[in-house]
Amino acid sequence: WYITGSYQPYMESGPVMNVLFVCTGNTCRSPMCEGYFRKLAREANTPAIRCASAGTCTCNGLPASRNSILVMQENGEDITGHTASVLSERLVSEADLIITMTASHRTAVLECFPEVREKIHLLNEFRSDSRRNTGVADPYGGSPDVYRNCFEEMKEPLRNLFLDVLNHTKTT
């Protein structure tokens, strides 16, 4: 595994790996993660990987931000149909792996659902450089370039995470 010794996803859902991405409003970072992860799964032609996203402080039904939609369109993925979801017991229990954007998101999830401690990680833990313990800054309200930079920061750890999950699904 990419994270030596600490990354042991649960496969409670059987042959399918369910990954949940969590940020604050579920309109910027986590929808971009979900969209890109879906694209990677589609390109790998694997139905064994599913993903969803949620927010720790949001309202159900909010659309993805205009700049998140733009950046994902530029990267070949359409997230125009995305609507925000409040982090819920159902989403958390269905997830085999929960990926948060910041340590404060991880803390918020664990305060509500302490039983998920073993399946929660920061996205940047999957980086290959020294920024593994950092959070992904919120681009909310920023220019398209702020969103592009945010997405570029998330791409490498998302690819590394995807390869880990893909390898795991092939060995189970």
**In the structure encoding, which two tokens stand for residue 80, read together?**
């125009």
Respond yes or no: is residue 145 known to be catalytic.
Answer: no
Q: What is the pLDDT along the chain (172 residues), one digit of tens a residue?
A: 343 334 444 444 457 899 999 999 999 999 999 999 999 999 999 989 999 999 999 999 999 999 999 999 999 999 999 999 999 999 999 999 999 999 999 999 999 999 999 999 999 999 998 888 899 999 999 999 999 999 999 999 999 999 999 988 777 6
What is the reported pLDDT for 170?
74
- Pick the catalytic residue: 38, 132, 138, 159? 138
Respond yes or no: is residue 28 known to be catalytic.
Answer: no
Respond yes or no: is residue 23 known to be catalytic.
Answer: yes
- Pick the catalytic residue: 29, 50, 106, 127? 29
Instruction: Report the distance separating Cα 162 and Cα 118, nearest Å.
Output: 18
What's the pTM value of the predicted model, to 2 decimals? 0.91
The closest of 17, 28, 128, 97 to 69, measured between CA atoms, is 28
